[in-house]
Amino acid sequence: MLTRVADDPFVISGAFEPAYLALYRSGELQRRARLAVQSLADCHVCPRNCGVDRVAGKTAVCKIGRYARVASYFHHFGEEDCLRGWNGSGTIFFGWCNLRCVFCQNYDISQVEAGVVARPERLAQMMIELQEGGCHNINFVTPEHVVPQVLEGLVIAVERGLRLPLVYNTSAYDSLDSLRLMDGVVDIYMPDFKLWDPELALRYLKARDYPEVARQVVKEMHRQVGVLKMDEEGLAKRGVLVRHLVMPGKVGGVEEIMRFLAQELSPDTYVNIMEQYYPAGKVGPEKYGELNRHITGQEYQAAVRAARAAGLWRFDERRPRWPRR
């Protein structure tokens, strides 16, 4: 774990106010929410640019119309230490997705209808319940296709007393227009940089432009919030945390991704190199067989070495146990 001292540049000392509160007080948050919802009538919320009228209930790739669908919300203790702390990350899992990852480890909610439709008042109430339960943040999982709905619900949640940092937990297949709406709203961006090669992105994600989109998106996130900073107790407060899931046979392009993060963002970028890949979704012995195995210890260690060779040094490491307060 990182050693924190009084003058540590990665520590935010003293009182912390979530970014969105200043926007709410100025009326800008409300304005953005109205504009975002209006944009659903000709949807370009994500890079798919489907152009359907979601206000009228029309759907395309993401299968979401006017209102978001929530598969589950709860205190999540499986996230990074700096997010879960001792009371958990207040995680809201949105249903459906704008990608079609064949190996998706949340396939049952990303590519199969799950959960319930959540109008803005219900979405706001979920945030408040998680805050009242002691969660350290509100963690939106797979929000790429529901940015307008998130903003709409957030306005109501702030009116009801929401004061927690917001985590934008994404595949990195986001629209730059949507991210600009979230500028000054999101405190912590957590993109998952999946693949580097366009042909493999087409095969495994069904989105050839994913690598280019992800590069633009991650740079924009870094521009908005910078490198990850925590409070004196080790809880993330502001910045970018990048995840990369190590896959069999170096499919992800870990060397290229790590060099990009070090050179185009910062060597101080906080990275979680994840080793929990397992065959899921559509992966099996007869289809996408090259992915039909767990990764080896050697593959994982090679990914860590690639990150260090690129100049990165801030890696997520799990504590055996974080004392509860």
**Phi-psi group of 213: left, alpha or beta (phi > 0 → left; psi -120 to 50 → alpha; rest → beta):** alpha
- Could you tell me if 170 and 176 are in contact, meaning their C-beta atoms sit under 8 angstroms apart? no
**Quick one: which of 67, 46, 72 has its CA closest to 55?**
67
Residue 325 scores a pLDDT above 80: no
Q: What is the mean pLDDT of the chain?
A: 95
Q: What's the confidence (pLDDT) of residue 5? A: 47
pLDDT tens-digit profile of 206-232?
Answer: 999 999 999 999 999 999 999 999 999
pLDDT tens-digit profile of 80-112?
Answer: 999 999 999 999 999 999 999 999 999 999 999
**Phi-psi group of 50: left, alpha or beta (phi > 0 → left; psi -120 to 50 → alpha; rest → beta):** alpha
Residue 31 scores a pLDDT above 80: yes
Instruction: Give dist(CA 38, CA 23) in Å, integer.
Output: 19
Instruction: Give dist(CA 117, CA 71) in Å, integer.
Output: 9
* Prediction pTM value: 0.96
Averaged over 114-120, what is the pLDDT? Answer: 96
- pLDDT category at 4 given cuts 50, 70, 90 is very low
- Could you tell me if 175 and 45 are in contact, meaning their C-beta atoms sit under 8 angstroms apart? yes
Contacts of 250 (CB under 8 A, 6+ apart): 299, 302
- pLDDT category at 2 given cuts 50, 70, 90 is very low
The residue written with tokens 């205190």 in the block is: 75
Q: What's the confidence (pLDDT) of residue 324? A: 56
Name the DSSP letter for residue 227.
B
Instruction: Give dist(CA 84, CA 151) in Å, integer.
Output: 23
Q: What's the confidence (pLDDT) of residue 7? A: 74
- What class does CATH assign to 20-315? alpha beta
Contacts of 15 (CB under 8 A, 6+ apart): none
Instruction: Give dist(CA 130, CA 134) in Å, integer.
Output: 7
Instruction: Give dist(CA 142, CA 303) in Å, integer.
Output: 25
Residue ranges of domains in the chain: 20-315
Pick 324 or 261 by higher pLDDT.
261
- Could you tell me if 94 and 146 are in contact, meaning their C-beta atoms sit under 8 angstroms apart? yes
Q: What's the confidence (pLDDT) of residue 318? A: 81
- pLDDT category at 1 given cuts 50, 70, 90 is very low
pLDDT tens-digit profile of 276-310?
Answer: 999 999 999 999 999 999 999 999 999 999 999 99
Instruction: Give dist(CA 38, CA 252) in Å, integer.
Output: 37
- pLDDT category at 136 given cuts 50, 70, 90 is very high
- Could you tell me if 146 and 96 are in contact, meaning their C-beta atoms sit under 8 angstroms apart? no
pLDDT tens-digit profile of 64-84?
Answer: 999 999 999 999 999 999 999
Residue 322 scores a pLDDT above 60: no
- Could you tell me if 188 and 229 are in contact, meaning their C-beta atoms sit under 8 angstroms apart? no
